Structure 1
C-alpha cells in the first residue's frame, strides 16, 4: 500500500468510499443527500491543506484530508479526517493514513493535531487514535444522530506533535 497526494482523476474511486461512509450516517456528520460535486468540494482540501489516497495495485483503499483546524490564532493546530473503503477495513489503512497525516502536520510546523467530532460509537477509530497518542478532551453529549443508536456523543480528541 502506498499513500500519495490526491489527483482529480482519483475522484472516480474516492467518491464511492465517501458516498458509502456518509450514506451509512454512522461516523461523519455529512449530509447523505449531497451529490458527488458537493462532497468533492467538502472533501478535497485546497492548498495549503492536503488530500491523499491510500492505494494498492491501482485501487484506492482509503482517503484522508488535512489542514489547519482553525484560521488565524488557531492555525498552529492541525486537523484531519479519514475514510476507508468497507472492503479494506481492518487492514491498517486507517492507521497508515493517520500516521501520514501526523507526519505531514509535523513537517508543516503544526504544534498539535485535534479532531473536533469523533463519533463516540466509532470505537475502531477512537481506539486507533488513542494508540497513536490522542486523548479525549471532552465529549459533546447527544450531538450526533446515529441511525440505529440514536443520539450519541462526539469526542474532541487532541495530541501534541
Structure 2
C-alpha cells in the first residue's frame, strides 16, 4: 500500500469512499444528502491536504488534513479519515493516520486534534488511543446517530 497526494483524476475514487460514509451518517456530522460536488469540495478544499491510500491502483482510503483553526489555533492540525468498506481491518486507517502525523509535522503543525469523534465509533477510538491520542473532552449527546439516537462526541488530542 502507498499513500500519495490526491489528484484531480482521483475524484471518482474519492466519491466511491466518501459517499457510503456520508450516506450512513454514523461517523461524520455531515448532511447525509450531501451531493458529490459538495462532498468533494469539502474534502479537497484549497486549504486542505488530501491524500489517498492505494494498492495495485485501487484507492482504499483517503484523508484530509488542515489547520484546526485559523490565527492563534493554526499550529494545531485537524484530520479526517475514510476507508473503503471492503478495506476495513487491513491497517489502512492506521497507515493513513501515521502518514498524516508525519505530514502534519513536516507542515509545521505542533499537535493534532480531532474535534468530533462519535463515541459509538469504538474501532476508531481504540485506534486513535493506540496512536497516542488522548480523549480531552466529551460533548454529551452532541451527535444524532441514525440508529443509536443522541450520542456523545469526543475531542481527542496529541502533540506532535
Q: TM-score range by the shorter chain?
A: over 0.9
Number of the residue aligned with 1:79: 78
- Measure, in 2, the Cα distance between the counterparts of 1:103 and 1:27: 24
Over 2 Å off, 4+ runs: none
Shift of 1:34: 1.1
CA shift, 1:32, in A, is: 1.2
Report the CA distance between 1:81 and its aligned residue: 0.3
Match of 2:34 in 1: 34
1:115 matched to 2:114? The reply is: yes
Q: Is this contact kept in 2: 1:45–1:66, CA < 8 A?
A: no
* Structure 1, gaps ≥5 residues long: none
Which residue of 2 is the match for residue 62 of structure 1?
A: 61
Give 3-state SS (helix, strand or coil) of 1:148's partner: coil
CA distance in 2, matches of 1:9, 1:72: 32
Can you list the C-alpha shifts for 1:7-39, whole angstroms capped at 9, x where unaligned? 011111110210100111110011111110000
CA offsets 1:124-161 (integer angstroms, 9 cap, x no match)? 10010000000000110101111111110110000011
Q: Secondary structure at the match of 1:103?
A: helix
Residue 45 of structure 1 deviates from its aligned partner by 3.2
Asked if residue 140 in structure 1 is aligned to residue 114 in structure 2, the reply is no
Aligned length: 160
What CA distance in whole angstroms lies between the structure 2 residues aligned with 1:29 and 1:16? 19
Give TM-score scaled by structure 2 length: 0.98
Residue 89 of structure 1 corresponds to 88
- 2:152 aligned with 1:153, yes or no? yes
Partner SS for 1:9: helix
Deviation at 1:76, TM superposition (A): 0.6
1:15 & 1:56 partners in 2: Cα distance?
A: 17
State how far apart, in whole Å, the 1-side matches of 2:124 and 2:37 are: 27
Distance in 2 between residues matched to 1:32 and 1:7, nearest whole Å: 25
The whole-number CA distance in structure 2 between the counterparts of 1:153 and 1:98 is: 23
Q: Point out where structure 2 has 5 or more consecutive residues left out of the alignment.
A: none
